[in-house]
Chains A and B, each alone.
Chain A
Amino acid sequence: MDIEKIKSEFPIFKQKIKGKPLVYLDSANSSQKPEAVIKKISNFYETEYSNVGRSVHSLAVKATNRYEETRDIVKNYFNAKHREEIVFTKGATEAINLVASSYGEQFINNGDEILITELEHHSNYVPWDFIRRKKKAIIKFAPVNKNGEVEVDEIKKLITNKTKMIAITHLSNVTGAITPLKKIIDLAKTKKIPVLVDGTQGAPHLNIDMQELGCDFYVISCHKMYGPNGLGILYAKKKWLDSLPPYQGGGGMIDEVKKDKITYAEAPTKFEAGTGQTAEVVGFSESINFIKRIGIKNILEHENNVMEYGIEKLKKNNSINIIGDPKERGSVICFTIKGIHPHDIATILDDDGVAIRAGHHCCQILHDKLGLTATARASLGIYNTKEDMDILCQAIENCKKIFKI
């Protein structure tokens, strides 16, 4: 695999940051976009753009076809059983809000329990908190162990006959831990509890087969998958989409509207109210093509090689503390440096063209547990190399020099 050639498909790397080559280590936050995705979007606007699913003119037909083709591409890529199980949303956050609201409205009642984990991003906690307040429900947090993982046994211990939902991340955006999803889903199935997987960090790096995984809901953030901003995907088993009430009302999602009665369209249209992210959906087809061309397993293998090299190198530095030591780690490395706050690290690294994220990464529950207010995070994409890790380590030396450590 020629990484330099793949990297050259990303126009963003043509520029210099503060006079230095860009070392982009913030893909867990948002990935960069290959030229094919950017071109697909501009080409769509230039030649095929119109609103979808409404008008009958030629452009409307073209645009609708492109939009619906992407649904098929997504369905096939993730091996969903039906194309109707793919709902386009404005992000993974909206997808979780949709499930929390529609499922919660119908199936969560006073005293019922929602089981999440201490690893969750705020997006997989706050929407459940809305339902907790509205329905006087209870949220239980499965604890993380010292390695930064959630064990199946901890989930098992917290399941009761009141548990109405298990909502869990696929891959932690802080510790990098990959959740033992299959075991959790199989366990939940024996208790007839639906499982929502926050696949925001999982989908860009891991091979996912929805039918094999067997979860009820899986949410995807397209902008972290080399795709456009403002687009997310909710995969949900057909039985849920058929039975859940709509999330938002508006144009497109209706069957018939009368003064005294409104009926809704079938899923997924029922959940796609208003004009959605047309060009973004169309553009995302090229992100999937890009990933398929390289192969998700090759992407994972490459990222793991770079990550392991980086971790070994960082570990040699006594001032660095790496957060978590999961058995299975995705390409996320959170760390702290004794005596330098993560924000200062991020600012100084930027001077060397190195883009990392600093802060609590929308995981305050986890940071509280770790006794930290913030961490620095380097996260990888297909375009990263071992040389990037060398530059990161060199830039960290610069931080230490400035702070006289």
Chain B
Amino acid sequence: MELKELYQEIILDHGKNPRNKGRCDKFNREAKGHNPLCGDKVQIFLRLDTNQKVVDISFEGEGCAISLASASILTDIIKGKDFNIAKKIILDFLEMVKNEAKITINSLSEDQKITIMSLSGVKKFPMRVKCATMAWHTLSSALKGKDV
């Protein structure tokens, strides 16, 4: 049962066919993340415009279905969001996978909320939480970073 919650259709789909893979055009922020224990890697590229809006975002990486799906979902959700909203979504996501919190932020559509919550199954698998959070921590670094 828990396994089914972890490997939901949405996750398997994003894991197999990740969205926004590669380097987006004219990215001006990027950050790398990796898990030294398992060797999984992710790199996030994004373009922040003068209004502090994430106008484009993409990722490159290797890893398990959970880490790839998480990165793919992240790019889908964050694209088009303002800097401050993106930061709030990251916090909400991390709370959700660590402390069973619900996604509360208003700026997500119902569909987006369902998609992001599909990753909440990971909290029953403590050894796999890092797989889901790696891309989000990397996004956080990219947002904090200076223009490249």
Are B41 and A347 in contact, with the CB atoms below 8 A? no
In whole angstroms, what is the CA distance A339 to B125 when docked? 21
B40: min CB distance to chain A, Å: 7
In whole angstroms, what is the CA distance A106 to B16 when docked? 54
Contact A344 B3, CB 8 Å, known A373-B40, A374-B38: no
Are A373 and B41 in contact, with the CB atoms below 8 A? yes
Are A402 and B3 in contact, with the CB atoms below 8 A? yes
Query: Taking the complex as formed, is A364 at the interface, i.e. its CB lies under 8 A from any CB of chain B?
Result: yes
Are B62 and A347 in contact, with the CB atoms below 8 A? no
Contact A359 B12, CB 8 Å, known A343-B131, A348-B3: no
B127: min CB distance to chain A, Å: 8
Interface residues on B, range: 20 to 34
Contact A360 B38, CB 8 Å, known A341-B63, A344-B65: yes
Query: Taking the complex as formed, is B64 at the interface, i.e. its CB lies under 8 A from any CB of chain A?
Result: yes
Contact A374 B39, CB 8 Å, known A341-B63, A347-B128, A402-B7: yes
Are A343 and B38 in contact, with the CB atoms below 8 A? yes
In whole angstroms, what is the CA distance A359 to B63 when docked? 10
Instruction: Enumerate chain B residues within 8 angstroms of A342, measured Cβ to Cβ.
Output: 64
B17: min CB distance to chain A, Å: 12
Instruction: Enumerate chain B residues within 8 angstroms of A340, measured Cβ to Cβ.
Output: 65
A373: min CB distance to chain B, Å: 4
Are B6 and A364 in contact, with the CB atoms below 8 A? no
Which of A343, A351, A402, A404 is B64 in contact with, Cβ under 8 Å?
A343
Contact with A along B1-27 (1 / 0, CB 8 A): 011001100001000100000000000
In whole angstroms, what is the CA distance A211 to B63 when docked? 46
Residues of chain A in range 341-382 having any CB-CB distance to chain B below 8 Å: 341-344, 347-348, 351, 358-360, 364, 367, 373-374
Query: Taking the complex as formed, is B148 at the interface, i.e. its CB lies under 8 A from any CB of chain A?
Result: no
Are A367 and B38 in contact, with the CB atoms below 8 A? no
A129: min CB distance to chain B, Å: 16
In whole angstroms, what is the CA distance A335 to B38 when docked? 15
In whole angstroms, what is the CA distance A208 to B128 when docked? 39
Contact A373 B3, CB 8 Å, known A341-B63, A341-B64, A347-B128: no
Instruction: Enumerate chain A residues within 8 angstroms of B2, measured Cβ to Cβ.
Output: 351
A369: min CB distance to chain B, Å: 14
In whole angstroms, what is the CA distance A367 to B63 when docked? 14
Instruction: Enumerate chain B residues within 8 angstroms of A341, measured Cβ to Cβ.
Output: 63-65
User: Which residues of B are at the interface with A, using a C-beta cutoff of 8 A?
Assistant: 2-3, 6-7, 12, 16, 37-41, 62-66, 125, 127-128, 131
Q: List 29 A-B contacts (CB under 8 A).
A: A339-B16, A340-B65, A341-B64, A341-B65, A342-B64, A343-B40, A343-B63, A343-B64, A343-B66, A344-B7, A344-B64, A344-B65, A344-B66, A347-B125, A347-B127, A351-B2, A358-B38, A359-B37, A359-B38, A367-B39, A373-B39, A373-B62, A373-B63, A374-B38, A374-B39, A374-B40, A402-B3, A403-B7, A403-B12
